[in-house]
Structure 1
Amino acid sequence: MTVHLFGIRHHGPGSARSLAQALSQLQPDLILIEGPPEANELLPLAAHGDMRPPVALLVYAPAMPQHAVYYPFADYSPEWLAIMHGQQHGVPTRFIDLPQAHVLAREMTYAEQAQAQVAQAGDMLAGLAQAAGFADTETWWDHLVEQRQDGLELFTAIEEMMTVAREELAQPLAPEEALREAHMRQMIRLGVKQGHQRIAVVCGAWHVPALRAMPTAKHDKDLLSELPKAKVAATWTPWTYGRLSAGSGYGAGVQAPGWYHHLWHTPHKAAAHWLTDAVRLLRKHGLDASSAQVIEALRLADTLASLRERSRAGLGELLDALQSVLFGDSDAPLRLIERELLVNDRLGGVPADTPTLPLSQNVKELQKRHRMVPLADQVELNLDLRQPKQLEKSTFLHRLALLGIGWGKTLTVRGKSGTFHESWQLAWEPEFELRLIEANVWGATLEIACNAHLCHQSQQTGQLPELTRLVDRMLLADARDAVPVLMARMQALAAGTQDAGVLLEALAPLANVLRYGNVRGTDTASVGAVLDGLVQRACIALPTAARGINEEAARLLLGHMIQADQAIALLQRAAHREAWLAALEQCVQLQAHALIAGRAVRILFEQEHWSVEQSARALSLACTNPVNPLASAEWLEGFLHGSGTLLLVNDALWHILDEWVAGLREETFTELLPLLRRTFATFEPAERRQLGQRVEHGGAALALAAPAPAQHTDEARAVLLLPILSRLLGDMQPKEELA
């Protein structure tokens, strides 16, 4: 009976290749792998024809899915090679790490100590790398192990090196590490007891000395006694190269999985293949890169390797060669290569019969029905919501977003306008699988889960604007069952809210729901009832809230006031308009803050509720405040904010403002100039130009168009037009009008 310990680096292609040779020589009758024992029953799926690495084992606590751990595998991961060897040769294969049932149940008492232990090990390896003439551990290990093709001899050397490193470290193990190694030793003892003669143990190189020099069985048994235990579940999930450095499970800090992919599939020509991919990438993005430059870069990389006394060119030499031959002083192409090529991100796949929860299964069925394949690469999707199939895709993406699964991000695209168009950018992330598991508590289907989650969120929301934004998301996700719950919650919050700003801020999202809800076919009747109450409360609260406030509060209220005005105009309801205009008149009469009063007059004038004479009178009163000229400037800012068209088309308003500015004392003008400049800076360039021309012409109104020459009117022909105009404009009496 012999126990062979293979110390590997997680996701190391050199370790994997040497392990494959060693297993072929050894022909073990039992393979033990550092990994979660809860996943032993899932190992046969690794040999399934539809399993495509990179993939990961996901172990989680069903009662609290946020407590989970991933164990990723690439096709060049040594653990994956060991699993596949066992499945292909019918060799019993088991995971032997400390069960996650204990790990997830334990309080994180020793988390900091465990991290400190890992840091100390890293420091020791960094010292070995420096002694060997390498600047960092990654490059040292890459040249020492990953680019070699040794068999059993390599693992003997790794064991000797790690034994010395642990002896030199001379630090007690963190409790979590001690438990893990104790459990692995117990599993090795179990394999020996079962009569296996050739046992292969595949584990991280750091653990090899602890598994070779075994203490007594009683020591390990006592260490593992009375551990807490939680119920856990496990499944396979797709993974990406970019996630191979995740901080849980087999996270090994792989910096360039795309380079390791070439080392695994084309070990003798990895440099040439990788450089070819780099050139293709540069050409794809419009950068010059010739075949001659590829050859020159490859020769330079080999020369650099020789100068650095290395057996072959590695990633560092290739990057240095590209920088010298192609990029010069520019770092931008190198950043592109690091993002696209070093990671070479790709999404794996798992068989359809992999164990999964109902919600995850429902999402996969919807992806298949909508023909939306989850990809790691960014994909753009343009939708026309007038088409039922595309509307269903939009609803699907919005429902996922409600559950925290941001598969798609909405984009603003020029040339696409209106509520019937949506543009998305899709990119599937592996952690979405875990979020689906977490969201399973809300329901077995995506629709049920969205409605339940919305109802829960509404009860947890204590601010009215947040709740109205939630209503907007509810509309986009077509979560109809949640409408009564959200509306009842909104009624309760609105009844207890006296803050005018909060009430005004809540109007815009609800107005959008009412105005555009019919695009998605959602019943918005209950939303309208709630909005009616909000408008009334906001109109009652505004005049009082606008008095006796400082400038900062007034500016905040001004923003809410402008948004509310746009919302009320959008709805075009007579009752809302009357209440709103009455509230604005009260703001003027009750001497609200100058910013608010100025804006109130502007809205009253634009809505044709006030005449030019009334507006001019209010402007004149505001500009005749010799005690506080700053208040006059603030009034003007509220009145003119955003547009100066009023001053271009109304001579009375222009002359009042012109006379006020001309009558200011020099020191007062100097004090108010920054505020006036800030106001006029909000105008469109064309408006500012025309105002300047009007000043240049001494205040005379500029003709917007050349006057039309006087023409004789043919009354007989004009009568023929009156019936048509009557139908277009309303009831008219053509004969009376003509007379």
Structure 2
Amino acid sequence: MMMQLFGIRHHGPGCAGSLREQLETMQPDIVLIEGPPDANAVIHFVRHQQMTPPVALLIYAPDHPHRVAYYPFAVFSPEWQGIQYALTHHIPVQFIDLPQKHQLAIKQGDDDPKSPRESGLPVPQIPSDPLLWLAQSAGFKDSEQWWNYLIEQRQNHTDLFAGILAAMTTLRQEWEQTYPPNLDKPRDRHQAMREAHMRKMIRQAKKEGFEAIAIICGAWHTPALTEPFPKVKDDNTLLKGLPKVKVNATWIPWTYDRLTLNSGYGAGIESPGWYHHLWQSHWYRPSQGKQATAVQVDHVQPSIPMATGWLTHVAHLLRQEEMDVSSAHIIEAVRLAETLAALRDRPLPGLPELNEAAQTVLCQGEAAPMGLIRQKLIVSDRLGTVPDEIPIIPLQQDLQKRQKRLRLKPTAEKKTLTLDLRNPNDLARSHLLHQLSILGIDWGIPQATSGKGTFKEGWVVQWQPDLAIALIEAGRWGNTVGTAATAFIVAQLEPSQSPLTLATLTSLLDRSLMANLAVAIAPLIQAIQTTAALSKDLLALMQALPALVQVVRYRDVRQTNAQIVMQVVDGLVTRICLGLSQTCRTLDDDAAQRMKVALQRTHRAIKLLRVAQYQTAWFQAIKQMLEHKGLNSRLSGHCCRLLLDEGEIAPPEAARRLSMALSPGCEPADSAHWLAGFLDGSGLLLIHDDQLWQILDQWIATLSEETFTTVLPLLRRTFSTFTQPEIRQMGDRVRHHSSPAASPDPIAALNAVPNPQSETKYRQQSLTTLSILLGFH
């Protein structure tokens, strides 16, 4: 009986290629792989024609969808190649790690009562990367670079796995002497249980009569799986009485970006795109039927030297970005990379040497293009595919059918979609993306579109592997995307849930209409009507109105029935207009600011409706509010501005009110707040209305130095809201136009004849004052 251990890095092209060679030599009759036994039933899909890595095994608990485990695979993953070999040669292949039905049930964390952290004992800081010891002893700064040069780019693979086993055995002995294992610690106990289960499965294979057993596992575990094993009783004691949950297993597409360490993946690597290139350069062989020695991934000529092929890819990428890169550049870059490798005593250029050569020669010393090279090549946005026959939940099946029908293929690349909602296919796409968004599956993110057309809708779509989990979690709401989204909306209205605000309800209604969830509309309308009838908060009513108006305004584009929404809008507008004057009588500055924002939004919404009776009632309500003497100064100024902009009051009347607000009998702070409300967001009035300009000028001229300093911060904030062209025109007006001397009568000041002798002095003072207001001093 022969048993051989293959200690590997979970994603390494050198390990994967060496493993295939060793398996061809060994000719095992069973292959055991570190992985979840829960997924043994779906291993055979690896040989399916539609299965293209990167992909991942997904193990999840149907009753607890948030409990999941991923097992990603790339074409250069040794486990993937081990499975391929076994299936190609028609020999059994099994996963032997501790089943996820136990791992997902075991509570993770260090909350054990015997933990040193809770007992008050000092907790040793255990490094997370034991291989760093070996890397540093060999003169490398990190274990990734050390492993790349020693294993992945190794030219001679003779006795590679025997060397890995010897190195790991010595390393684990030193490690466990420095940090003795403690089964009371969750981390140590978890590792011990995993290795005990792997030994149990090896014993089972021997018991079943297999003579040549190949065991593929992480290099760190190889010493624990070397015979002689611990006693069977000890392993069984570790595994006895483990909790468990029901789990399902499936395959899902994965991306190289999710294989990186930066993604949070524990066994991640720095450069999956680079590893893919190494696999193709060294180990790629075109498939030849069932006896192929490797999986055919891309039609790339393996005879091209590794460095030349990589820098050629870099050159193609830079040319796509309209950068000038010639064949001569590639030749010089290859020579530089090989020279750097020789100076560093490396057998071949590695990624550091190729990056330095690319930046120096192809990028002409610029660092910025290297970010693009890392994103597109070193990491890569490659997305795998899985067969249609993969067992998935009904919700996923429905989504896949709609994706095909709507020609909306999920990709890892960010794509911008501009949908024409007049087109039935684009409208259906919009409905799907909105329905997924309601379920928390953010495949698409809404984007603003240029132009004034209401029929356009912008999205940025990008499929992420995590969305597969979100789909599984959303499966509890229904078997199709539409019914699941509807059920989710309706569930928010259940009496057992916390009461929703009016603004939240109208937002849900808006989203439901955009998602074409007809069944959810009626209960939402009922909930909005009930909440609005019981609400005494006028501000909440005003905040709810804009979303409803959007629904009514764009009903033709989205083909929705807006009549039912108009009933709610009619009631809200009536209540707002009737209660506005009374609500705004006594508001402090903070409440007045919130009300001002609500006024602006409500004003825009009522204008958007284009219903004459609503506008008449609205303007009448604002006029009534403006007549209250106790009205907050900021609100008073803003209401005056709204009525002036809409032609409800004449410019002379606005000038009269401004003059009264800035009269000497008013507190300077109240005057400044009135002015802030009046000028909020636009200075065009001051530029084009001489009368208003003169009134403001006269008021500032009458302020004492102390009072001016007091109101200056507020005035500065007001003027800071103006656009740069408006500020420039104000400066030009002061610079090029004369102004009369201060006069108590602003109307008379307009007709006063300027004094040539005082004009220069006045203009200089005006420029200084304006500079202070605009924040230039």
Q: Same fold (TM over 0.5)?
A: yes
Distance 1:349 1:335, change over 3 A: same
Of 195, 205, 210, the residue aligned with 1:181 is 195
Q: Distance in 1 between matches of 2:320 and 2:716?
A: 48
Kindly tell me: are residues 421 and 177 of structure 1, through their superposed partners in 2, closer, same or farther at Cα, counting changes over 3 Å? same
CA deviation after TM superposition for structure 1 residue 121, in Å: 6.5
Secondary structure of 2:57's counterpart equals strand
Shift of 1:621: 2.4
| Corresponding position of 1:729 | none
Does residue 554 of structure 1 match 2:554? no
In 1, Cα distance between equivalents of 2:116 and 2:334 = 42
Contact kept in structure 1, 2:259 and 2:272, CA below 8 Å: yes
For 2:761, the equivalent position in structure 1 comes to none
2:563 to 525, 538, 542: 525
Q: 1:437 aligns with which of 472, 480, 483?
A: 472
Structure 2 CA distance for aligned equivalents of residues 284 and 294 of structure 1: 15
Residue identity in the other structure for 1:279: A
CA offsets, 1:160-194, max 9 Å, x none?
11111111111216111111111111100100110
Q: What's 2:204 paired with?
A: 190
How far apart, in 2, do the equivalents of 1:480 and 1:144 lie?
62
Describe how 1:132-531 pairs up with structure 2 within 5 A.
132-148=138-154, 150=156, 153-170=159-176, 171-172=180-181, 174-213=188-227, 214-245=229-260, 251-267=266-282, 269-327=305-363, 330-414=366-450, 416-457=451-492, 462-531=500-569
- Compared with structure 1, are the counterparts of its residues 257 and 426 closer, same or farther at alpha carbon in structure 2 (3 Å cutoff)? same
Distance 1:99 1:248, change over 3 A: farther
Moved more, 46-55 or 674-683: 674-683
Q: Which residue of 2 aligns with 1:710?
A: none
| Structure 1 CA distance for aligned equivalents of residues 31 and 723 of structure 2 | 74
| Segment of structure 1 superposing worse, 142-151 or 165-174 | 142-151
Task: Tell me, yes or no, if structure 1 residue 12 matches structure 2 residue 26.
Answer: no
Shift of 1:685: 5.4
Q: 1:660 to 1:206 in 2, by over 3 A?
A: same
Taking a change above 3 Å as real, the CA distance of residues 249 and 59 of structure 1, as seen in their structure-2 partners, is farther
From the superposition, tell whether residues 276 and 350 of structure 1 become closer, same or farther in structure 2 (CA, over 3 Å).
same
CA distance in 1, matches of 2:409, 2:481: 17
Taking structure 2 as the reference length, the TM-score comes to 0.84
Pick which of 181-190 and 634-643 moved more: 634-643
* Greater Cα shift, 617-626 or 347-356: 617-626
Q: Deviations over 1:22-71 (max 9, x none)?
A: 11111111111111111111111111111111111111011121211111
Aligned residue for 1:572? Answer: 610
Matches of 1:87 and 1:622, distance apart in 2: 87
Distance 1:297 1:572 in 2: 66
Given that 1:184 and 1:211 are in contact with CA atoms closer than 8 Å, whether structure 2 keeps it comes out as yes
Q: Does 1:35 align with 2:35?
A: yes
What CA distance in whole angstroms lies between the structure 2 residues aligned with 1:118 and 1:27? Answer: 45
Aligned with residue 129 of structure 1, among 130, 135, 153: 135
How far apart, CA to CA, are the structure 2 residues paired with 1:467 and 1:625? 48
1:311–1:151: structure 2 CA closer, same or farther, 3 Å change rule? closer
CA contact (8 A) 1:10 1:251 kept: no
Change (3 A) 1:697 1:625: closer
In the TM superposition, what is the alpha-carbon distance from 1:222 to its structure 2 partner? 1.3
Equivalent-residue separation in structure 1 for 2:214 and 2:695 (angstroms): 94
Cα deviation code 1:607-637 (max 9, x no counterpart): 4444445434433321225351111121122
Tell me which residue corresponds to 1:642: 681
| Cα separation, 2, equivalents of 1:263 and 1:508 | 57
Change (3 A) 1:616 1:276: same
Asked whether the equivalents of residues 51 and 351 of structure 1 are also in contact (C-alpha less than 8 Å), the reply is yes
1:736 paired residue number: none
Deviations along 1:485-526, one digit per CA (max 9) or x if unpaired, are 222332344345444433322221111111112211111223
Contact 2:36 / 2:96 at 8 angstroms: preserved in 1?
yes
Does the 8 Å CA contact 1:114/1:176 hold for their aligned counterparts? no
Instruction: State the identity %.
Output: 46
Letter in 2 for 1:76: F
User: Are 2:257 and 2:263, in contact at CA under 8 Å, matched by a contact in 1?
Assistant: no
Bigger mean CA deviation after superposition, 263-272 or 206-215: 263-272
Structure 2 counterpart of 1:601: 640
Confirm or deny that 1:629 pairs with 2:668: yes
The runs of 4+ residues in structure 1 deviating greater than 6 Å are: 111-119, 246-250, 699-702
215 and 185 in structure 1: CA distance in 2 versus 1, 3 angstrom threshold: same
- For the 8 Å contact 1:244–1:251, the answer to whether it is kept is no
C-alpha deviation, 1:671, in angstroms: 3.8
d(CA) in 2 for partners of 1:701 and 1:350?
Answer: 79
Does the Cα contact within 8 Å between 1:34 and 1:96 map onto a contact in 2? yes
> Given the superposition, is the C-alpha separation of residues 564 and 336 from structure 1 closer, same or farther in structure 2, using an over 3 Å criterion?
same
Deviation per residue, 1:509-552 (Å, 9 max, x gap): 11111111221111122322222333344345544443444433
Matching residue's letter, 2:358: L
Q: Which residue of 1 aligns with 2:77?
A: 77
Q: Over aligned residue pairs, what C-alpha RMSD do you find? A: 2.9
- Is the partner of 2:446 in helix, strand or coil? strand
Alpha-carbon distance in structure 2 between the residues aligned to 1:364 and 1:129: 46
Structure 1 CA distance, aligned partners of 2:635 and 2:480? 49
- TM-score normalised to the size of structure 1? 0.89
Q: Distance in 2 between matches of 1:111 and 1:45?
A: 39
Asked whether the equivalents of residues 640 and 678 of structure 2 are also in contact (C-alpha less than 8 Å), the reply is yes
Amino acid at match of 2:528: M
| Structure 2 runs not aligned, ≥5 long | 183-187, 283-302, 741-748, 752-777
